[in-house]
Amino acid sequence: MSNPKFEDKLRILLVEDHPFQLRATQYLLESYGFTQLTTSDSAQDALQQMLAAVRPFDILLCDQCLPDLPGLDLVRFASHRGMIKQAILLSSLTRTELDGLEKTANAHGLPLLGYLIKPLKQF
């Protein structure tokens, strides 16, 4: 019996409201071997996915500019309730704006690993 790869074990919740960005990011993650990938197109749907999950997601990969809730607020809500272990923001905001969000997250003890600037080309 072979050991599963790290990518096979990592549970990721991807939240992106733009259909093309959602599919492109999903494809990119799958091309890197991530197989336990759940997708959502809104913060509300993501919350439902997290509530229904048997255990916390390892990574919340979330767009910062969701129409129903800013990504960092979703990270805060989910982490305070034990629904996620870590988070990464996706955004087309400027690096300065994203650095500010990262500092805010760190100041509040949120499990934000960092951010990725859209459009994504590769990780």
pLDDT in tens, 41-80: 999 999 999 999 999 999 999 999 999 999 999 999 999 9
Question: Is 91 inside a domain boundary?
Answer: yes
Model confidence at 121: pLDDT above 80: no
Give the CATH number of the domain where residue 110 resides: 3.40.50.2300
For the chain, the domain total comes to 1
Cα 57 from Cα 40, distance rounded (Å): 13
> What mean pLDDT is predicted for residues 100-116?
97
Question: Is 123 inside a domain boundary?
Answer: no
Structural domain range at position 100: 6-117
Question: Is 122 inside a domain boundary?
Answer: no
In the sheet that 84-91 helps form, which strands lie side by side, from edge to edge?
Answer: 36-40, 11-15, 57-63, 84-91, 112-117
Nearest to 15 by CA among 77, 60, 73: 60
Question: Is 88 inside a domain boundary?
Answer: yes
Question: Is 36 inside a domain boundary?
Answer: yes
Distance, first Cα to last Cα, the chain:
30
Model confidence at 119: pLDDT above 90: no
- Give the pLDDT score at 1: 45
Question: Is 24 inside a domain boundary?
Answer: yes
Cα 48 from Cα 96, distance rounded (Å): 32
